[in-house]
């Protein structure tokens, strides 16, 4: 019997092609937006998870609390210092530690001026190794910062790109950074992380001299001893800093987070953003549902005599109800299928564009089966619900009145 209802609905679509396409428009726009947004959100979470997995589960980031958004240490309530770093180094369970400074700088090259972030590289070999390993720093040209380097810098791939200064920044080039000259000794491999690809690495002592800093640090990276729970170590560091900086519990002017906690925080933010965007896209589905309801009401009015004829030859109320419900449900289902195809294409297109602009791996589209099946079922439900009232109206028509066209 269901096959008969489905054939009846498909024949109706064939006779009213233009109306069917216009009716499905709102559905497939909404589904396409939802599929593309959620797939990109999931892909971004996966990419961030991959990036954070490189940080290692035994690493902890210590930063000063900031009053605004920006690089670590910018707008901080109370800056971290090398004294804090020394206090953390004495905490039981700390294996390696590295303090870093992050600042913005005016960079001049080829008679052009740009602004970039400058990050310090620790003086000690252990500290440099920790940072290089944590952020997977490698060079396509030249080498990384080493002991004894003074007025030397390593530039990110985006800084070296010819679009920044009109010509590529290569090994041996000289940059004016805050009006002081530095020699480029390396160009980093593109990582797909804008904060690294767009930065400049500089020896710690040279950066302190350039900015007139003494003991300030923007962030402290800590690696725990093998086998030690990073949560336990983070708690020890928090207690030590709380005592060292003389602040009460709950009023800390610093943050201590494991890489897993940072990932959870970013994941929560991404989930909220994705949900809000999907909710906005869902408005299109509401409009599409109203369009289906309107079409079905019009269909009932046009086919009153057909309904009366079917009832006069034995069609039951349930049969009429199912015919119209099937028709509205298939409208939603067809719109959903087209919307899924468009959503997948949109997601892949954004991925390609992002790969060209930001580097591979940062933004990826992910299409898990449950997203596609869920979107298809949701569109069918929207169509069915939208057609319920018109279907009930059609099923309750009196056959005599329907045949008269009343």
pLDDT digit string (tens) for 160-193? 988 889 899 999 999 999 999 999 999 999 887 7
pLDDT at 2: 57
Residues 212 and 131 in one domain: yes
Mean pLDDT in residue range 47-54: 63
Residues 65 and 192 in one domain: yes
More confident: 45 or 124: 124
Residues 277 and 380 in one domain: yes
Burial profile 96-131: b = 16 or more Cβ within 10 angstroms, e = fewer: bbbbbbbbebebbbeeeeeebbbbbbbeeeebbebb
Q: Where among 258, 274, 298 does a domain terminate? A: 258
pLDDT at 77: 59
Q: Where among 224, 258, 292 does a domain terminate? A: 258
Residues 222 and 97 in one domain: yes
Task: Give the lowest-confidence range in 18-22, 24-28, 109-113, 343-347.
Answer: 18-22
Burial of 323 (C-beta count, 10 Å sphere; 0-12/13-18/19+): buried
What percent of the chain stands above pLDDT 70? 83
Residues 91 and 233 in one domain: yes
Residue 22 CB neighbours (<10 A) = 12
Residues 191 and 221 in one domain: yes
Residue 395 has pLDDT above 50, yes or no: yes
At 279, is the pLDDT very low, low, confident or very high (cuts 50, 70, 90)? Answer: confident
3-state secondary structure of 201: strand
Residue 214 has pLDDT above 60, yes or no: yes
Residues 37 and 129 in one domain: no
pLDDT at 260: 73
Residues 73 and 134 in one domain: yes
Q: Using CA atoms, how far apart are residues 119 and 164, in angstroms rounded to an integer?
A: 19
Residues 331 and 194 in one domain: no
Cβ pair 222, 94 in contact under 8 A:
yes
pLDDT digits (tens, 9 = 90+) for 119-157: 999 988 999 999 988 888 999 999 999 988 989 999 999
First to last CA, the chain: 29
Residues 153 and 80 in one domain: yes
Sort strands 94-100 and 59-64 into parallel, antiparallel or unpaired.
Answer: unpaired
Could you tell me the residue range of the domain that residue 28 belongs to? Answer: 2-51+265-404
pLDDT at 161: 87
pLDDT digits (tens, 9 = 90+) for 2-26: 565 566 566 666 666 766 777 777 7
pLDDT at 49: 66
At 69, is the pLDDT very low, low, confident or very high (cuts 50, 70, 90)? Answer: very low
Q: Which of 9-13, 256-260, 393-397 has the highest mean pLDDT?
A: 256-260
The candidate with the shortest Cα–Cα distance to 156, out of 211, 112, 207, 193, is 193
Q: Using CA atoms, how far apart are residues 129 and 137, in angstroms rounded to an integer?
A: 10
3-state secondary structure of 19: helix
Cβ pair 293, 389 in contact under 8 A:
yes
Residues 89 and 218 in one domain: yes
Task: Give the lowest-confidence range in 80-89, 146-155, 317-326, 359-368.
Answer: 359-368
pLDDT at 118: 94
Q: For residue 182, list its beta bridge partners.
A: 175
Residue 57 has pLDDT above 70, yes or no: no
The whole-chain average pLDDT of the chain stands at 81
Residues 240 and 342 in one domain: no
How many residues are listed for the chain in this entry? Answer: 406
Q: Where among 237, 258, 279 does a domain terminate? A: 258
Q: Report the domain count for the chain.
A: 2
Mean pLDDT in residue range 320-331: 79
At 323, is the pLDDT very low, low, confident or very high (cuts 50, 70, 90)? Answer: confident
């Amino acid at each position: 019997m269901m096959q008969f209802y489905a054939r009846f609905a498909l024949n109706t679509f064939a006779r009213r092609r233009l109306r069917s396409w216009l009716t499905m428009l709102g559905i497939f726009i909404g589904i396409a937006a939802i599929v593309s947004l959620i797939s990109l959100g999931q892909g971004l979470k996966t990419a961030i998870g991959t990036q954070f997995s490189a940080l290692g589960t035994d690493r902890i980031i210590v930063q000063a609390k900031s009053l605004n958004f920006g690089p670590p240490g910018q707008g901080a309530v109370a800056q971290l210092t090398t004294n804090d770093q020394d206090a953390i180094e004495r905490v039981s369970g700390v294996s390696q530690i590295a303090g870093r400074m992050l600042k913005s700088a005016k960079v001049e090259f080829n008679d052009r001026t740009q602004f970039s972030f400058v990050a310090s590289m620790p003086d000690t070999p252990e500290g440099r190794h920790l940072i290089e390993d944590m952020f997977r720093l490698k060079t396509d040209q030249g080498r990384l910062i080493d002991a004894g380097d003074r007025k030397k810098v390593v530039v990110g791939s985006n800084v070296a790109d010819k679009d920044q200064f009109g010509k590529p920044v290569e090994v041996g080039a000289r940059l004016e950074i805050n009006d002081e000259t530095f020699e480029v000794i390396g160009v980093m491999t593109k990582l797909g992380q804008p904060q690294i690809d767009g930065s400049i690495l500089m020896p710690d002592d040279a950066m302190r001299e350039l900015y007139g800093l003494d003991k300030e640090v923007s962030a402290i990276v800590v690696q725990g001893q093998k086998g030690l729970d990073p949560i336990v170590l983070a708690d020890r560091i928090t207690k030590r800093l709380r005592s060292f900086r003389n602040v009460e519990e709950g009023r800390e002017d610093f943050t201590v987070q494991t890489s897993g906690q940072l990932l959870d925080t970013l994941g929560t933010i991404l989930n909220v953003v994705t949900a809000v965007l999907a909710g906005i896209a869902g408005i299109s589905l509401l409009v599409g549902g109203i369009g289906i309801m309107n079409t079905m009401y019009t269909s009932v009015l046009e086919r009153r005599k057909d309904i009366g004829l079917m009832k006069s030859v034995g069609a039951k109320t349930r049969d009429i109800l199912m015919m119209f419900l099937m028709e509205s449900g298939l409208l939603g289902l067809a719109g959903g299928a087209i919307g899924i195809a468009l959503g997948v294409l949109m997601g892949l297109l954004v991925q390609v564009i992002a790969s060209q602009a930001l580097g591979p791996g940062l933004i990826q589209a992910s299409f898990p089966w449950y997203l596609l099946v869920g979107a298809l079922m949701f569109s069918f439900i929207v169509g069915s619900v939208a057609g319920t009232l018109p279907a009930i109206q059609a099923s309750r028509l009196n056959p005599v009145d329907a045949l008269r066209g009343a």
